[in-house]
Structures are given as structure tokens and as C-alpha cells.
Structure 1
Amino acid sequence: MASEKLQVIPLGGLGEFGMNCLALRYGDDILVIDAGLMFPEEELLGVDIVVPDISYLVENRDKVRAILLTHGHEDHIGGLPWILSELNVPVYGTEFTLAYVEGKLEEHRLLDDAELIEMLPGRQFGIGPFTVRPIRVTHSLVDCVALAITTPLGVVLHTGDFKIDLSSPDGHPFDLQAFAELGKQGVLLHLQDSTNVDRPGFTPGERAVIPRLDDIFAATKKRLFFSCFSSSIHRIKIAMDLAYKHNRKVALIGRSMDNSTEIAQDLGYIEPPQGLIIHPSKIKEYAPHEVCVMISGTQGEPMSALSRAAVDNHKYAKIEAGDTVLLSSRVIPGNEKSIYRVIDHLERRDARVIHDDGTNGLIHVSGHGSAEELRMMINLTQPKYFIPVHGDYRHLKRHVELAKSTGIPEKVLLLEDGDVLEIDSRGAEKVGKVNVGRVCIDNNSTADVVLDTVIRDRKHLGSDGLFLPIIAINKQTGAIEGMPEITTRGFVADDPELLRNARDVVRRTIEESSGEERKDYGVMKDKVRGDLKRFIQKNANRRPLIMPIILEL
């Protein structure tokens, strides 16, 4: 019976933005779709990235056949180093996606052992009982695909991130015909991107920004600093074309901007005219109206090129009064403070800052389909079952309502991370859960996992400070030597008597302990910590992190 059941198990990306990862299991064969990361919320102090808990995959490592990538954004490939350090399985992706992956794996010294296999839109290939057909979709990045996976029970369609753009700047439009053909053949299950479900209508195509950007290029009298997501290859190409049209040289500033542009040029997505791109050191050799600086840091990242230029701390990017700074991107929720801080610095430099769409035309368009595109895809594919993916719970809920309103899917299911959906000849039902969660990583290293206890300690330090009682104990007699010392960090005591009384508490704790307890420093630290905790909470209404230190004399 097990071989006649298909299981769909989201490990991340359902109930949050980012960390997209889903397991598709038939019998003893598992395919993993995407391996993303998520950037931490403010409360995850000191954490660099968050990746999905892959306990389920590790427990079933002998069944995992491959990882399939829909595209190269961090929320779909950023968790690969973590997963590949645990599971060395083949990774399939399009040419551009694998170029990003190679750089990421090389950074983590995993590239030599990785098996990266290129997949081409429209060309089928087999993995165990599955037949995979990548289908061209359009998004804010290039070379993106949806995955139509034929299983013994029927076709599972995973859209990845998409919008329907039939006039993509790279000449590779959304493949509507392929999805219409799938609908005629029959789709068992459709998993669809929920990001823009609450936006009515259709998302404009990438070319929709050209008129407004063209006006900005024409109206700018001095230097133009153009900032967008470094992965927005379409936008970079449009900016370069406009710079050429308006007789401006282009200087690329920022590591991510450099890397993405280099990959895009190598693969033929950007073909700048000879002499258009200049080294940043040459900027000063041209008149201000002859230069367009493409600079990374559109989200106000503290060490980004734009942030440093905004405070006049960049070697090449010098922003002067009358220069124009264009932020051709959306504000990612949570980044508002850092973005507006950079804008404030730019305004102090008397730069003209353009950072929203306004009423005069678009300077940015989303890479995700809006409600009518989502509805159109359901109408095209005619799925039997439907599951919304990629979004917070409210987005998934809204997407369920949209799918039901079409009257097409026989069953619409709302899944969350860890839910196990089982499909067989009798229907589709949730049958249980697997262990999922978030793994916090420091220093972008697969080795430096941050435990919940560490996060809790960091919160303690940030809110109530650190209390370090230092106690000297005679090794032979177990007697306390002198008065305990107390060092604090980030702890402010209003009462000058508090520290003296705290030393008395520590001394009494030691003196009232038995000789046997005094020789067990683990026991003594716990007793001192407990007595001090009660004393400080009662007298100062604070809960600092208490770390007793015992010196053996």
C-alpha cells in the first residue's frame, strides 16, 4: 500500500516568507523542491541566517534522490550549503541558477563534492519513479522554472515564484502554452506561489518600468546612482540600455552587483556595448552628467556600498549635492528603518532621492503574480487538488479562498510546515506531521548553529545585563577567601547598597553550604545563581544573566 501513496511534506515556506523547501515522496523515493533560507527577525539576536530543520530528510537520507531548484533567489537556494553538508545528493537547476549555486558552495568549500546537473526548460528527465519537466516562467530573476513532476498517481505542478510576463526583456516569455497542455492532460496537484494573492488584477511586466526610468535618466543633470536588487537582471539590463541611450558610462559598485552582472554577461543575459562599463576608479574622469553608478544596497544594509556612500565613506562612490539616487526596488518588510536612515543621510547631502512609484509611472514592479494571474493559472491547469505555498498564514488563507472561488479544484487544502498530505486513489488527506522548525546559524557557517538557549541568553544580556560574581575558595578547607567580588555589564543599580548586599548574599550562600557542597563547584554555582536571582528580582526587579566564577586557591 505504501507504494500507492504520494506524500507532500512542506519543510519550510508555508507560514513564513523564505526558507522554501518541500519534500515529495512516493514509496522509498523522495524529491526535494528548493532549499531556501530566511533572514532573521529582530528578536533572533546575532543570528545571520535561518534555514529549515531537515530532520525528516536526514532520517530518510537513503530515500532522498535529488534537490530540484526552481530559481536562484536566496529564499530558494540559500539553505543548500546546510542541507548538502548533511545530505550529498544531486542538485538540479537551470544554467543561471547553478551559476549562483556554484558561488555559494565554493564559499562554503562544498563545491568539489557537489553534483550539479543542469536542466533545460521543456526537456524532461527521470529520477526514480518521477519524470520531471521544467517549464519556463517569468519572475524578477532570469532562468526560472515551474516543475511539472509526473508520479505514478498523476502530475504534481509546483509553480515556484512566478508572474505572467509575455514580453520579458530577456526574450524568454512565460510559457502559457505548456501550462495549457498540462491542463488538457490532467493535473493531480497544483502548488502555487501565494506572495501577491492580496493584490488585485495583474502584475505589470518588467518593461513597464522603462517609460518612468527613461524620464528620470533624461531629467537628471548630474550623476545618477541607480540601486536595485543585484539579482534583478532584467532591471540591470534596462538601466544599462537607458544609460547607453542617454550617453552615460556605467560604473558597477558593490560585490553582489559585480557578481550578478558578471554571471549575466557570461551567460548572455546582458550584452553591454563596448566601452559602456567603466571601472569605478574612472568615475571622476567623466563629467557628472556622463555617469550612471549602479550600486548595491537598496535595502539599507549597514555595510552595503550605498550605505557607505550615503555617509561619504566609500572610495569611489561620492554623492554630491544635485546628484540623483534612484531606489528601483520595493521595501522588504522589516527593512524600513535601515532604508529610511540611508535616505535621511542622502537628503543631508542634498541629493535627490526617488524611492517610490508615485503617480508618474513605475520605477519598480513585483516579480510575483497578482490575484488574476493566480486565478488564470488555476483555470489553465484544471487541477484536482490545490495547495497554496510561499507566504504567511494570512496569504495562504486568502489563496485558499481564491482557489475555491474558481470552482475548479475538487479539494483545496491549507497546509503548514510539517503537515503530511497523503494522496491515493481514494483522495487527499492530512495524515500527520513531521518534525520541522528553524535552525539559526551564525557567521553564515554551516557549523555555527545557534541554539534556542543562546538566543535566550542574548535577550537576557540585551535587556537586563550581565552579573558576574567572582568567588575565591580554599581548595583544602573549602572556606571562602575574602569578600566575593561582583562585576556587572549592562546592569544599572539605582540603589548604591545593592552590590554590597549582593556580595553578602553570595558570602552567606557559601558559608551556609556544607563542606561537601563547597567542593562541588557545579553545585555551588547553581546555589549562588539561584540565591542571587531571587535577591536581584526582589530588590531591583531585574533578571540579568548570572554567571558565577569560582577561583580555586
Structure 2
Amino acid sequence: MSHPHPELTTPPPLADGAVRIVALGGLGEVGRNMAVIEHQGQLLIVDCGVLFPDDSQPGIDLILPDFSYIKDRLNDVQAVILTHGHEDHIGAVPYLLKLKPDLPLIGSQLTLALVEAKCKEHRLKPYTMSVTEGQEESFGVFDCEFVAVNHSIPDALAVAIRTDGGTILHTGDFKMDQLPLDGRLTDLRAFARLGEEGVDLFMTDSTNAEVPGFTPLEKDIAPAIDKVFRDAERRIIVASFASHVHRVQQVLNAAAAAGRKVALVGRSMVRNMGIAADLGYLHVPPGVLVDLKKLDQLPDHKVVLMCTGSQGEPMAALSRMANRDHQIEIGPGDTVLLASSLIPGNEHAVYRVINGLMRLGADVVHKGNAKVHVSGHAAAGELLYCYNIVQPSSVMPVHGEWRHLVANAQLAIDTGVPEDNVVLAEDGVVVDLIDGRARIVGAVPCGFVYVDGSRIGDGGDVLKDRQILRDEGFITVVAVIDAADGKIIAGPEITARGFAEDQQIFDQVRPRLVEALEAALGKGTTDPQQLQQIMRRAIGSWVGGKIRRRPMIIPVVIEA
């Protein structure tokens, strides 16, 4: 296996006839999936998603792929292929289009409808081209064939990319549900046909590579959902991804059978399900859907609320309900159904929401105590089938944390792919495909790009300051001096926030500050910035030794 190395240098120019693959997101993380494929001076992009921040990134709204690698080459981009409509694959599209609005977006009908709605919020009108499984289209030097795959959202596609330098099969997110709710199977016949033609690089979904066996069927969770609807005494609140059409369909069906009405809660949920219903992917039983404003007219045992927030997102509807910060108040007798699995990294946030809901008296049903969700990703058994069917020359695991990528790589080796032909890469690592063999040849800059309100950037200093404020607190020190006489007129006054200690403890350091200032003034130092640094060092060393903290210190020197 080829491992990325911290000393990787800038890659050499691409050799004649070779194909270059650079992931700008999605490797070593679950989110912001984006791969750039280069051949004969032309670029093809597969997916362009976002990553959601964790507790270590306070105040950040979204995390984008780093577009700097392609920023000066956007005219070389032939198309942006979108495998399916989940946020981690399409969420960053508007930000890419702001750099070049006429980039062609290629995807299935539902995927493009979701992207267009997202772009509309950014006042963008993208150029789109809808494709279906079995369709073949050429974008510059890239001949693409689209293959149906089953996932937790309808209309997902894998893509086979044929070039003079080799054939790449990118699965996108997929699983092999043999009895899918929409009847749309992963097209293993197409996988086999492509394998017979020769797949030089197989880029495979790694999310469930650590999970043995096979991902359970979607239809198998219907009895658990029906049981929740039978047993619930009052309202039922169901939290799911805003794009999980299949899960919403199951909830609508269960509500119709139980004689309940369903209201959609949350802008993204209302928007996405409206699109799915208009396009025929969501079938709403007559009279089941009602407006949220009309719920007061219904008894509690007739109400179902379908909302977002299954991953513990702070601003999502379910989190706000748990924090009593929503128009819907959770109380005893209510049943909350979390119809989703945990995205790695979100465990703490989700359990915090569950505890908050249970504290309010709700009965919370989740994957840990009932079979109310199945994953949308292929488990190890399914991946083995795919490797044996495709028999690729080289493999590059994608979409997953490092542990998922490693597990997926081992599955490829177990099925006979030569170890030297299995490439473990991280974001920014450059992989060249030459004569059917993939090799790491260098790395390009590829950091986190943060969306922070209206600002987009690396946000390193801002984020570091926020982390210090959150974890260590802050101290302000204000002193007034007479520069002419070299004397302290007032202060230093110390104000501290974020400390468990009583404010009076800082009286101990005030004499040290006075002594340091007077010594500096006595030597003729009157520059406010120099005096501020002296105060910062004096109080910083004292706080570090006495309280064992490293707070943000804001010294202020005022000249009278």
C-alpha cells in the first residue's frame, strides 16, 4: 500500500497519456467530497460537498473543499459530475460557481433539482445537464458512463470515466440493497461489464468498510417504525436527514396507516420534500400532510412532526426543541424517533440532544435501542463482491475517515489486488494513473476553508482565538499613564471572564503589574504598544503558574 508522507513535494508535470487524481476533500473525513481528475490538460470534477463543523470549530457554519488547486484552471474544467444529492457531495457547489458561474453541472434529475434550489438561495442560475443510468456522454477528453447505484437518497449514480490513459470507476456513495424501496438496484451487471472491459482505477466508498457482512435492507426497519406509531401515546417527532426521501416516505406511510397527520418542520426539509414530491420520488398519501400552523387544531395522538437535527446540529429543529428554544415544546408522553445513524464525530452532539429530550420527559427511540435506521453505505461483504466483480488493476478508497480507508484497502488486497496497486491517499495527495497502475507522486496545498457567516477563508487565527476564549477565558488589563512624567495615573484594572476563581484572586498580580510598568517607565519606555506587551507577559506568566491557564490577554495602555 502507498502511504502519504508529510515530506511529499510538489508533483512533477503530468506525463503524456497519464491521468491525475487529486482529492480536495473526503479522504480522512466523512464530508466535503471532491475529486479532480486531469488528462491532456483538461479537468473533470466529481462531487463538490461540504463538511459540517465539530465542537473544535466554534462558530463555523460549513467547511468547504480547498479550491486553490483549481482556482487558476477553472477554464480547463469540462464538467462537474454530481453522484447524488447529499450535502456532503453537493453542498459546496454554489461556492465553486461563484468562482465560475458557467461550470456545467451533470447529475440525475433529483440531484440537479436539489442543487438548483440551493443555488437559487445564492442567486445563482447554473447550467445543468440531466443524465440517467446507462447514458454515455463526453466532456472534453473524458467519456463518461453513468451507472445506477442504490443509496439512502433516490437517483444516485456511479460514473465510469474512460480516457486514453485508463478507465476510472467512481462509485459515489452506494450499497447493494436487494429489495430497495424504490426498486432501483445497484447495477452489478454494469459493474461486471466494466470489469471485463478493464477498470484501471476503482474509487470505492469506504464508510462502512469496517462493518462485517451486509448492510440491512431498508424495508426491514418498517416494523420498528410501525411499532413506534402503535405505541406512542401523544405526538411523534421524527428526526432525519432533510434529503432522506425513503425515510420520509416510510414515515408518511406509517402515519397514514395510524390515522395521523404529518407536518414538515425546517426549511430544508420542506424544500427538499417538496422537490421530491413534485418530481415523483415521494408519494404523499392523500390528506396526510398538513401545515405546521394547523397542528393546534389536532389532538396530540394524531400528530407527527418530521424535522431535521438527527446529527445534533445546534441550529436544527430537534436540538432547539431539546434546548426549549423552539415553538414546539417537548413534554412527557411525546415520542422522539431518531431515524438516522451517527456520522462519525457527531456522537457527543447527538447524545447531548437525546439526554435533553429525555430530561423533558420524552421517550427517545434511536438506532441504539431499536432497529429504526439502516446505513446507506456498503458494508465489507458488499465491497468484497464489488472487488471480485470489477477486478480492478488499482484501487483508491474514498469517502471515509482514515480507519475506513485502511479497512477498505485491506478488502481490496484480500480479493487479489496487488498491495502496491492499492493507494491510500489523503486530501491534497496527488495520484497518477500510468499504464493501469496508480502511484502517489506528490501533494498540493489543501486546507480547510471555513464559511463563517458571510466570510469565507481559512479562518485559522479567528478559530484559534475562539477556541482560546472557549477553553481558557480572557483577561483585560487597563492602565492609564502620564507619558510626560513617566507615572501610572490609574490602574492597572483587571477584568477576567471564564474563570472559576473569584475576581479577587487577580488582586495578587496587580503589584507585579505596577512594578513592571514602573520599571519600564523609569527606563524611559512610554510607547503604549511596548507597555502593553510588558503587561501581557507579566500577567500571562502569573496566570500560567498560579491558575494553570493560558487565557487570551487584552492589555490596554491609555496616555493621559
Change (3 A) 1:348 1:27: same
Whole-angstrom CA distance in 2 between matches of 1:312 and 1:472: 45
Deviation, 1:234, is 0.4
Instruction: Report the equivalent of 1:458.
Output: 466
Measure the CA separation in 1 of the matches of 2:459 and 2:513.
32
How far off its partner does 1:29 sit?
A: 0.8
Q: How does 1:145-184 map to 2 (within 5 A)?
A: 145-184=157-196
Counterpart residue number, 1:32 = 45
Q: Residue by residue, what CA displacement relative to the aligned partner does 1:285-332 show, whole Å, maximum 9, x if unpaired?
A: 3344433332332233344333444466543x4545433322221233
- Going from structure 1 to structure 2, the CA distance change for 1:92 and 1:479 (only over 3 Å counts) comes to farther
For 1:14 and 1:356, the matched residues in 2 are separated by 26
Equivalent position to 1:92, from 87, 103, 106: 106
> Paired residue for 2:544?
537
Task: Give SS of 1:187's match.
Answer: coil
Partner of 2:57: 44
Which deviates further from its counterpart, 95-104 or 189-198?
A: 95-104
* 2:432 paired residue number: 422
State whether residues 483 and 507 of structure 1, in contact with CA within 8 Å, keep that contact through their aligned partners in structure 2: no
- Which residue does 1:468 correspond to in 2? 476
Distance (Å, rounded) in 2 between the aligned partners of 1:349 and 1:467:
37
Separation in structure 2 between the aligned mates of residue 171 and residue 338 of structure 1, nearest angstrom: 34
* Matching of residue 487 in structure 1 with residue 494 in structure 2: yes
Write the distance in 2 (CA, Å) between the matches of 1:422 and 1:341: 44
**Distance change >3 Å, CA 357–CA 348, structure 1 → 2:** closer
- Cα deviations across residues 35-71 of structure 1 (Å, max 9, x unaligned)? 1221223222322222222221124334333322111
* 8 Å Cα contact 2:392-2:417 kept in structure 1: yes
C-alpha contact (below 8 Å) 2:201/2:438 kept by paired residues = no
Structural mapping, 1:202-281, within 5 Å: 202-281=214-293
Decide whether aligned partners of structure 1 residues 51 and 278 sit closer, same or farther in structure 2, where only a CA change above 3 A counts.
same
- Equivalent of residue 35 in structure 2, options 22, 43, 56: 22
Distance in structure 2 (CA, Å) of the matches to 1:36 and 1:402: 26
Question: What is the aligned partner in structure 1 of residue 306 from structure 2?
Answer: 294
Match of 1:398 among 407, 425, 432: 407
Matched, 1:439 2:435: no
Q: In the superposition, relative to structure 1, how do residues 460 and 245 fare at CA in structure 2: closer, same or farther (>3 Å)?
A: closer
Q: What SS is found at the alignment partner of 1:102?
A: helix
Unaligned residue ranges in structure 1 (runs of 5+): none
Range with greater deviation from structure 2 (35-44 or 369-378): 35-44
How big is each residue's C-alpha offset from its partner over 1:467-505, in whole Å with a ceiling of 9 and x where there is no partner? 323344557x48455134333232546645324224404
Indicate the SS of the match to 1:548.
strand
Q: What pairs up with 1:75-90 in 2 under 5 angstroms? A: 75-88=88-101, 89-90=103-104
Q: How far off its partner does 1:25 sit?
A: 0.8
Matched with 1:329 is 340
1:104 aligns with 2:118: yes
Aligned CA distance change for structure 1 residues 506 and 170 (closer, same or farther; 3 Å): farther
Q: Spell out, residue by residue over 1:501-527, the C-alpha distance to the aligned partner (whole angstroms, 9 max, x if none).
A: 24404522540454xx635x4444444
Aligned mates of 2:490, 2:516 — CA distance in 1: 9
C-alpha root-mean-square deviation of aligned residues, in Å?
Answer: 2.7
The CA deviation at 1:4 is 1.2
CA distance in 2, matches of 1:286, 1:535: 63
Question: CA contact under 8 A between 2:200 and 2:437: conserved in structure 1?
Answer: no
Select between 139-148 and 64-73 the one with higher mean Cα deviation. Answer: 64-73
Q: Give me the TM-score of the superposition, normalised by structure 1.
A: 0.90
Residue in 2 that maps onto 1:340: 351
**Segment of structure 1 superposing worse, 500-509 or 172-181:** 500-509
Residue 384 in structure 1 maps to residue 393 in structure 2? yes
Match status 1:352 vs 2:360 = no
Question: Is the alpha carbon distance of 1:349 and 1:46 closer, same or farther for their aligned partners in structure 2, counting shifts above 3 Å?
Answer: closer
**Matched-pair contact (CA < 8 Å) for 2:393–2:437:** no
Partner residue in 1 for 2:9: none
Say which is worse superposed, 376-385 or 484-493, in terms of deviation: 484-493
| 8 Å contact kept, 2:18–2:434 | yes
Change beyond 3 A, Cα 1:319–1:423: closer
1:251–1:280 Cα contact (<8 Å) kept: yes
SS across alignment from 2:219: helix
Report the counterpart of residue 198 of structure 1 in structure 2.
Answer: 210
- Is the alpha carbon distance of 1:28 and 1:305 closer, same or farther for their aligned partners in structure 2, counting shifts above 3 Å? same
Q: Cα distance 1:529–1:368, how it changes in 2: closer, same or farther (>3 A)?
A: same
Closer/same/farther in 2, CA of residues 387 and 509 from structure 1, 3 Å limit = farther
Deviation at 1:385, TM superposition (A): 0.8
Matching residue's letter, 2:230: A
Q: CA deviation at 1:76?
A: 1.3
Whichever residue aligns with residue 406 of structure 1, its letter is: T
Deviation at 1:229, TM superposition (A): 1.9
1:74 CA drift (Å): 1.6
- Asked whether the 8 Å contact 1:471–1:480 carries over to 2, the reply is no
Q: Could you list the per-position Cα deviations for residues 72-98 of structure 1 after superposition, in whole angstroms to 9, with x for gaps in the alignment?
A: 212112222333333443222222222
1:538-553 alignment, distance < 5 Å = 538=545, 540-553=547-560
Taking a change above 3 Å as real, the CA distance of residues 67 and 513 of structure 1, as seen in their structure-2 partners, is farther
- SS of alignment partner, residue 67 of structure 1: strand
1:365 equivalent to 2:374? Answer: yes
Structure 2 CA distance for aligned equivalents of residues 307 and 467 of structure 1? 32
Answer yes or no: is 1:407 the counterpart of 2:416: yes
The 8 Å contact of residues 387 and 412 in structure 1, kept in 2 or not, is answered as yes
Judging changes above 3 Å, is the alpha-carbon distance between structure 1 residues 426 and 465 closer, same or farther for their aligned structure 2 residues?
closer
Per-residue CA shift, 1:171-209, capped at 9, x if unaligned? 322222221221121111100000001111111222121
Structure 1 residue 224, shift from structure 2 partner: 2.7
Give the match's secondary structure for 1:294.
Answer: strand
Match for 1:543: what amino acid?
A: R
Q: Is the 8 A contact 1:9 1:421 kept in 2?
A: yes
Q: Which runs of 4+ in 1 moved over 6 A?
A: none
* Alignment partners' CA distance in 2, 1:503 and 1:363: 61
Q: How many Å separate the matches in 2 of 1:511 and 1:342?
A: 55
Matched-pair identity in %: 38
Report the TM-score, using the length of structure 2 for normalisation.
0.89
Given that 1:36 and 1:79 are in contact with CA atoms closer than 8 Å, whether structure 2 keeps it comes out as: yes
Alpha-carbon contact 1:155-1:188 (below 8 Å) kept:
yes
Residues 506 and 532, structure 1, Cα contact 8 Å, conserved in 2: no
Relative distance call for 1:528 and 1:289 in structure 2 (3 A) is: closer
Kindly state the Cα deviation for residue 133 of structure 1 after the two structures are TM-superposed: 1.6
Over residues 242-296 of structure 1, what are the superposed CA-to-partner deviations in whole Å (9 max), with x where a residue is unaligned? 2222222222222232122111111111121332211123223334443333233
The count of residues paired between Structure 1 and Structure 2 equals 542
> Hey, what's the Cα distance between the residues in 2 that align with 1:450 and 1:422?
28
Paired with 1:282 and 1:91, the residues of 2 have a C-alpha distance of 39
> Secondary structure of the residue that 2:98 maps to in structure 1?
helix
SS of equivalent residue, structure 1 residue 483 = strand
C-alpha distance in 2, partners of 1:416/1:22?
11
1:426 and 1:366 map into 2 onto residues whose CA distance is 32
- Aligned equivalents of 1:294, 1:339: Cα separation in 2: 17
- The answer (yes or no) to whether the contact 1:382–1:409 under 8 Å persists in 2 is no
Q: Which one of 69, 90, 113 corresponds to residue 82 of structure 2?
A: 69
